[in-house]
A and B are shown apart, each in its own frame.
Chain A
Amino acid sequence: MNTEQISVRLRRADLADIEARYHARVDDPKLRHIFVCGGTGCHATGSIAVMDRLREEIRDRGLEDRVRVVQTGCNGFCALGPLLIVHPENVFYQKLTPGDVTDIVEEHLVRGNIVERLLYKDPATRKFIAHIHEIPFFSRQKPWTLRNKGHIDPESLFDAVGRGGYQGAARVLLDMTPEQVVQEMKTACIRGRGGAGFPSGMKWEFAMKAEGDVKYVVCNADEGDPGAFMDRSILEGDPHAVLEGMVIAARAIGASKGYIYCRSEYPLAVHRVEIALDQARQAGVLGESILGSGFDFDIEIYQGAGAFVCGEETALLRSIEGGRGMPRPRPPFPARKGLWGRPTVINNVETLANVGRIMVKGGAWYASVGTEKSKGTKVFALSGDVNNIGLVEVPMGTPLRDIIFDIGGGIPGKRKFKAVQLGGPSGGCIPASHLDVVIDYEKIVEAGAIMGSGGAIVMNERTCMVDMARFFLEFIQEESCGKCTPCREGTRRQLEILEKICAGKGEEGDLELLEELADMITDSALCGLGQTASNPVRSALRHFRPEFEAHIREKKCPAKRCPALLEFQVDPRRCKMCGKCVKVCPVDAISWKKKEPAVIDRDVCVQCMSCFDACPFDAID
């Protein structure tokens, strides 16, 4: 077995001992490690079959003593899965099939030659890159929160402790007073990574000072923003970092019970957290008298049932209580009156995952990176129309352009960058003209979006901004809990207007009405969901107003995404007669002979848009 079981109750001295044993193993020159990514993305593309085959081949060749295969959490480069890293050379192999495994074993492990055809090919230079730290996607990141990604088996407490896990908790429980812990958090200036950016140290201080003998710590893992998967990856890849953060928070405020509220859409994350909880209890880093300190704290995992609004803290707490997850007015804030009416600290996964390191290295260390008001690093889930899709962690203060073009590798094909959407349904789109904005809570708001939880979806010129605004409102409309009228009714009216515009029935005055509604909803909605629901519309109107006007006045969709505004006709002057549209048409509505422009039979056409995507010359209107 790979995993070294820890069945004794740990004391502080054991932590350092395990760390030494872990490093002796990882740095053993006679031993190779193969880290196979086992995140949700790689599982879906077949990493388990690759790993099984790898173990089989290694066993067949009698290499078991010299090669250890470790299934890690999400490596971050999700678009290239299944993938693995051969350590200590740190060679990165990608897009693997079980058939490729023989080559890796035979060529690399036995003969020591790198298998070039399985390496990452830089889309810009078209050259193969063997070593992970030379791949731009990885080399420009600063993995603090994700420091263990791709290095540890998330189902092994030994690995987590081996890389310094629970040392922050040991310091807090054995050397520090709650006041000192809170002070360290305030020095670190870490702000809530769920999106709103409230200083975590202050939140802890309120809860610490709140009166009550029963208090709670809640981890918000209800990652609901579409296009966000940072929290999932952290829970899947390094669950002990989150548990350690919760133990520390509990000590700071004096809580004895904690909950992790996780979406039921993340079965693998739930599974790994359950394993981590069991191991942590057995080893005495959770439960009674943690690390022999006399401090008791236990955690329960609670699965959500599919409601976006439950990411809002008061709704989330209501959901843990077993009710309809509807927000309530604040104040009182949860730090004073939270779960079951008791003082409760509720923090996001990413925030908690940083706490252990802050306690080991000190708040000043954490605050040494970043901008004036935003410290440390931020994890983004980069996706959409960008070459390198995956998890990206950068220091605060990094320009957005660097994330998309240097780390993300730019836009695939010959398409152009149009906008990047930050903050999901509460955020907004940032256009090319504002790409030099740096990652900072306040600066991003000035540019028309919000930091949000970290979803960053890149869009090329084929994305219609009117349609995107409509998409987000449809989302909000469906997820609005219905408790307050501005959100329930106001967003419905906005959606109706946008649907009308997309259908080619927009009128003069619609945009002004949208803006008026936006201000009204923001001013009067009960919770964060409603108050921010108009952000996508507002930012789209600010940066892409001419596109809205084209829909209304010229009845045209410049991005060619709104079927009602398209003619489904091939322009014979632009058609280069390649026949690609014919191949993708599902209903054979396109006729084409060699050396003649294609013709679409509009009676047969079902307006599926496949030909628009396939045409390399933009010849279909």
Chain B
Amino acid sequence: MTCECENSVEVTPEQWSTVDAIIAEHRETPGSLITVLRKCQDVVGWFPENLIDHIAAGMNIPLSEVFGVVSFYSLFSLKPKGRHTIKVCTGTACYVKGVREVMGRISAKYGMEEGQTCEDRRFDLQGVRCLGACGLAPVMVVDKDVHGDVSADSVLEILDAYK
């Protein structure tokens, strides 16, 4: 874990006020913690320690429980992310159609393994669960763009467009 002072740089005052608004909207609804976390991550991008603290206090839920939920679900990240997120589908159809080779090519080119961010923070590489677009296998999603029928050869060309 990074120290608090470093973390506080990560969340801007505007982001804090959006986070507060999200908490205020949901704090009375039982069971809304996951929704709050999802929305907060959309704002900040990941969960620095002080953000988890803040949500726990705001929602009046023990810190341990909030951390437990954050660490349980794969959607939530405890690390800062790159500028672009590459999600490579690791579902069965994509696996059968050679997604391992695609992933290998990305790792080799940008020097990051699955779950890591490359050094200049340009890309995040995530292996994700089936995206349900098996008709296009192998599938890669960069930010919000879905790329289907990706091959180890074509993948680097596609990524070139994301600076």
B105 at interface, CB cutoff 8 A: yes
Q: Does A471 contact B (CB under 8 A)?
A: yes
Q: From known contacts A41-B136, A81-B135, A471-B95, infer whether A308 and B153 are also in contact, taking CB-CB under 8 Å.
A: no
User: Which residues of chain B have C-beta atoms less than 8 A from A78's C-beta?
Assistant: 133-136
Contacting B68 at CB < 8 Å: which of A266, A302, A324, A610?
A324
Answer yes or no: B37 CB below 8 A from chain A CBs. yes
Chain A residue with minimal CB distance to B31?
Answer: A322
- Chain B residues in 8 Å Cβ range of A229: 130, 132-134
Chain A residues positioned under 8 Å from B112 (CB to CB): none
Offer 25 A-B interface pairs, CB within 8 angstroms, sorted by A: A40-B132, A44-B147, A224-B129, A227-B92, A227-B134, A229-B130, A303-B35, A304-B73, A305-B38, A321-B31, A323-B33, A323-B68, A325-B73, A383-B134, A383-B137, A384-B92, A384-B97, A384-B137, A390-B135, A459-B96, A471-B95, A606-B104, A606-B108, A608-B101, A609-B101
Interface set of B (CB-CB < 8 Å, partner A): 30-35, 37-38, 65, 68-69, 72-76, 90-93, 95-98, 101, 104-105, 108, 128-137, 139, 146-148, 152-153
Are A608 and B104 in contact, with the CB atoms below 8 A?
Answer: yes
The answer to whether B130 touches A225, judged by C-beta atoms less than 8 angstroms apart, is: yes
A303 neighbours in B (Cβ, 8 Å): 34-35, 38
Q: Which of A228, A321, A459, A472 lies in contact with B130, CB distance below 8 A?
A: A228
B66 CB, nearest partner CB in chain A, Å: 10
Complex Cα distance A3/B35, Å?
31
Query: Chain A residues with Cβ under 8 A from B147's Cβ?
Result: 44
A residues 410-448 touching B (CB-CB < 8 Å)? 421, 424
Complex Cα distance, B72 from A44, in Å, reads 30
- Whether the pair B136, A232 counts as a contact (CB closer than 8 A) is no
- Find chain B residues with CB under 8 A from A324 CB: 68-69, 72
- Nearest 10 A-B pairs (CB), nearest first? A78-B135, A226-B91, A44-B146, A305-B73, A383-B134, A229-B132, A226-B130, A306-B74, A322-B33, A383-B93
- Whether B69 and A265, one on each chain, are in contact in the complex, defined by CB atoms closer than 8 angstroms, is no
* A226 close to B133 (CB less than 8 A): no
| Alpha-carbon distance between A172 and B137 when the two chains are bound, in angstroms | 42
Quick one: closest B residue to A224, CB to CB?
B129
A325 and B72 contact, CB distance less than 8 A: yes
- Chain B residues, CB < 8 A from A321: 30-31
- A residues touching B (Cβ–Cβ < 8 Å)? 40-41, 43-45, 78-79, 81, 223-229, 232, 264-266, 302-308, 319-325, 340, 381, 383-385, 389-390, 421, 424, 455, 457, 459, 463, 471-472, 475, 481, 584, 586, 606, 608-610, 613
Whether A265 contacts B101 in the complex (CB less than 8 A), given A44-B146, A322-B31, comes out as no
Residue of B nearest to A609 (CB): B101
Whether A586 lies near B153 (C-beta < 8 A) is yes
Bound CA span A110–B30, Å:
58
Q: Which of A340, A421, A613 contacts B92 (CB 8 A)?
A: A421
Known: A45-B148, A305-B37. A226 touches B96 (CB 8 A): no
User: How far, in whole Å, are A43 and B146 apart by their CA atoms in the complex?
Assistant: 9
Q: What separation, in Å, do the CA atoms of A457 and B92 have in the docked complex? A: 7
Further contacts, 15 of them, CB under 8 A, given A385-B97, A457-B134:
A40-B131, A81-B135, A224-B129, A305-B37, A305-B74, A306-B74, A307-B74, A325-B72, A383-B93, A384-B134, A459-B96, A463-B96, A475-B90, A608-B105, A613-B101
Nearest B residue (CB) for A230: B132
Contacts of A40 in B (CB 8 A): 131-133, 146
Please determine whether B134 and A381 come into contact, CB atoms closer than 8 angstroms. Answer: yes
Across-interface contacts of A307 in B (CB, < 8 A): 72-74
Q: Chain B contacts of A81 at CB under 8 A?
A: 135
Instruction: Identify the closest chain A residue to B96 (Cβ).
Output: A384
- Note all chain A residues with C-beta closer than 8 A to B68: 323-324
Most interface-central of A225, A471, A475, A608 (chain B CB within 10 A): A608
Q: Report the nearest A residue to B132, measured CB to CB.
A: A229
Chain A residues, Cβ within 8 Å of B37? 305
B105 touches A227 (CB 8 A): no
